[in-house]
């Protein structure tokens, strides 16, 4: 699994984009009951490369992502919607940046776990 960094104020690592995308691509491929070789051939890439993308080992270019999604008869919008739905179930905390300025990093370390959504001051 790829190394994830801890967002400020979070006790759990935040999932990396390549991990979320790769897992979603794998689910989409398996929903079609396809083997790596079948999807990779249609996408014009090697099965090894597709496997690395699915496991979050490679940051695929936008062209490669488009080719893989095309091979899965899907779109970027559909994949992003599915990822957003899955990631969106995690708890979030909102911090008004205006109230944090000058308060030091202790404010950012306290609070509930989950991604931080900041509001511009």
Residue 9 is assigned to a structural domain of this protein: no
CB atoms within 10 A of CB 74: 18
| 81/97 same-domain check | no
Q: Which domain range does residue 70 map to?
A: 17-87
**The whole model's pTM is what?**
0.64
| 39/97 same-domain check | no
| 109/75 same-domain check | no
User: For the domain that residue 76 is a member of, what is the CATH number?
Assistant: 1.10.260.40
pLDDT digit string (tens) for the chain, length 121 residues:
455 555 565 555 667 889 999 999 999 999 999 999 999 999 999 999 999 999 999 999 999 999 999 999 999 999 999 998 887 765 555 445 555 455 444 444 444 444 444 444 4
Listed in sequence order, the DSSP H helices in 11-118 are: 17-31, 36-43, 47-54, 62-71, 76-87, 97-100, 106-109
């Amino acid at each position: 699994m790829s190394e994830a960094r801890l967002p400020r104020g979070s006790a759990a690592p935040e999932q990396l984009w390549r991990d979320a995308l790769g897992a979603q691509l794998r689910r989409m491929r398996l929903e079609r009951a396809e083997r790596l070789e079948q999807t990779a051939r249609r996408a014009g890439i090697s099965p090894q490369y597709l496997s690395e993308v699915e496991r979050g080992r490679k940051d695929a270019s936008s062209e490669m992502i488009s080719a893989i999604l095309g091979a899965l008869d899907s779109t970027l919008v559909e994949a992003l919607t599915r990822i957003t739905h899955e990631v969106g179930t995690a708890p979030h905390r909102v911090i008004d940046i205006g109230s944090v300025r000058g308060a030091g990093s202790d404010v950012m370390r306290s609070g509930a776990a989950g991604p931080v959504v900041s509001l511009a001051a």
